[in-house]
Amino acid sequence: MAGTVIGEGLTIEGDISGDDEIVIHGILRGRLTTTDAVTVGGTAVVGADITGASLSVAGQVTGDVTASERVDIQAGGKLVGDIKAARFTIADGASFKGNVDMEV
């Protein structure tokens, strides 16, 4: 079971931190920090800096991303911000604007 789920229609204004897997379908404004995976669903709107093990974006994200493993932008996903991750993929149909640091 996913540790934390922010359902569609739910809005969080503030910081989220912890060691759970986090799935967002709603709205988040603030900051997101976890040691596990982060999934941003197609209906999600995130305006936050994100730190996690991995990040999968199908919705909209605005903010800097730091992932210890990987960042994937799905088709239809939109990400604006700098990315720092070992692995980074952008699917066909995704939009992205920002710098990438793959710290080889």
Partner 1 sequence: MSESSVIGAGTVVSGHVRGQGSLEILGRVEGDVSVSGNVVIGPAGRVRGNVSGAQLTIAGHVQGDLRGSEAVLLERGARVAGDITGPRVGIAPGALARGHVTTEGEPAAAAHRPAPAVRVPQPPPRVVPPPPKLEVRAPAPPVKAVPPPAPAPMKLPPPAPAAIKREPAPPAAVRYQPPAPVAVKPLPPTPAQPKPERSASDAPPRPTLASDMEFTPVRPIKPEPRRPPPPVVPVLSKGTKAKKKKSQD
> How many chain residues are in contact with partner 1, going by CB under 8 A?
28
Q: Please, what is the minimum distance in Å from the beta carbon of residue 7 to partner 1? A: 4
Confirm if 21 and 35 have CB atoms less than 8 A apart. Answer: no
Q: Please, what is the minimum distance in Å from the beta carbon of residue 98 to partner 1? A: 25
Confirm if 79 and 99 have CB atoms less than 8 A apart. Answer: no
Q: State how far the Cα of 91 lies from the Cα of 5, in Å rounded to an integer.
A: 24
Radius of gyration of the chain (CA): 12
Confirm if 72 and 83 have CB atoms less than 8 A apart. Answer: no
53 lies in the binding site for partner 1 (CB under 8 A): no
Region near partner 1 per CB under 8 A, out of 1-9, 59-67, 70-78, 83-91: 1-9
76 lies in the binding site for partner 1 (CB under 8 A): no
The number of CA neighbours under 13 Å toward the Cβ of 56 is 12
Nearest residue (CB) to partner 1, 12 versus 100: 12
Region near partner 1 per CB under 8 A, out of 22-30, 52-60, 79-87, 96-104: 22-30
Judged by the rule CB under 8 A, the positions of this chain that interact with partner 1 are 1-22, 25-27, 30, 34, 43
